[in-house]
Amino acid sequence: MIVDPAHPLWTKISRLPKVELHRHLEGSLRLETLFEIARTYDLDLPSDDPETLRPYVQVMKGDSPDFIAYLEKFKWLRRFYVSPELIARIVSECIADAAADNVKYLELRFNPVALSRLRGFALEQVVLWVAEAAERAQRDHNIKVRLILQIGRDESIATARRIAEIAVAAHSNGVVGLDLAGDELAYPATPFTEIFRWAQKKGLHITIHAGEVGPAANVREAVERIGAERIGHGIRAVEDPALVSLLAEQGITLEMCPTSNLHTGAIATLSDYPLRHYLEQDVRVTINTDDPGISNTSLTDEYMLAVQHMGIELQMLHQTILHAAAGAFLPESERHELITWFEEVLVPL
């Protein structure tokens, strides 16, 4: 989906201070960096030619929407984490790109298993490398960054428990939450319930990918059984009006990602996207990029799509930004400070 930079609102939206709650590190790599790494390290890839390699790591114009094909791109992207220095570089570039899009608060999630598997790095070391790089980058680029560790639905319970333990131990290094992601059609969330409940008791916040391509029941399970405070995507919740009411009543934040949802086939057209409907039902909805490298998008692009294709007005965009600030996985005092700052700066824009 191509946005229109000539739209009268483009400049204003690009200048908006933003919050992003749902961005995957593994889906945020710059293509030029991938090509450089491939050449330098002679990686076993289908091609070292940039244009030939591009379709393996990025959705191309004309590609058919396909959830599994979208997930397959991560298998290629995970071949680039070949050293601590490169992991730090990728983190830094991801945060720099967000800051350049005027994102002021970013929660960046990653799967430590995915970053460690190629070279056999220790999971604890990977988390420390990401945390240290994020700390440096947020200072360099005037952006506040917190981290979320992701558990894949296809992981063993033992591995999932280990990731949760590492996340709790790394709380002081900026890790604020735990996420469950992956193929929700093939792998249920139920086996991980106790792990997430334990992590929550230890002070971590919980977000769960649900209702993206799976049914509304997955969203209800994530909230009622697993204790999710936020839901990644949550598109299919719209099919259950009682669930939509529950989300509004409990203040559950939906992390919605329009372009990604088009690319995975979770939605057929943006005109069908339930973002405005959720806003009208007082559900706390936010707009995010998900995987800006794979989908070739930015948060400004996502906001423009909402304006051009979903009937979202500027004041509604302001509301989604405030929703995101209110849904931030921060201590209450820091969250209040973030909300107050955005309330003040958004008014005159």
Instruction: Read off the CATH number of the domain in which 104 is found.
Output: 3.20.20.140
Q: Which helix (H) or strand (E) holds 121?
A: none
Identify the domain containing residue 330 by its residue range: 10-346
- What is the structure's pLDDT at 255? 98
- What is the structure's pLDDT at 51? 75
- What is the structure's pLDDT at 349? 59
- What is the structure's pLDDT at 144? 98
This prediction's pTM = 0.95
- Asked if residue 1 is part of any domain, the answer here is no
pLDDT < 70 regions, the chain: 1-2, 4, 47-50, 348-349
- Asked if residue 174 is part of any domain, the answer here is yes
Helical residues (DSSP H) of the chain, grouped into ranges: 10-15, 31-41, 50-57, 67-77, 84-100, 112-116, 123-141, 157-169, 193-201, 216-224, 241-250, 258-264, 275-280, 292-295, 299-309, 314-326, 332-346
- What is the structure's pLDDT at 246? 98
Among the options 26, 212, 229, 302, which is catalytic? 212
- What is the structure's pLDDT at 47? 65
Does 212 qualify as catalytic in the annotation?
Answer: yes
- Asked if residue 253 is part of any domain, the answer here is yes
- Asked if residue 325 is part of any domain, the answer here is yes
The pair phi, psi for residue 88, each rounded to 5°, is -65, -40
Name residue 206's beta-bridge partners: 178
- Asked if residue 5 is part of any domain, the answer here is no
- What is the structure's pLDDT at 151? 98
Is the CB of residue 96 less than 8 Å from the CB of residue 104? no
- What is the structure's pLDDT at 9? 82
- What is the structure's pLDDT at 270? 93
- Asked if residue 105 is part of any domain, the answer here is yes
- Asked if residue 114 is part of any domain, the answer here is yes
- Asked if residue 4 is part of any domain, the answer here is no
- What is the structure's pLDDT at 215? 97
- Per the structure, how many domains does the chain have? 1
- What is the structure's pLDDT at 283? 98
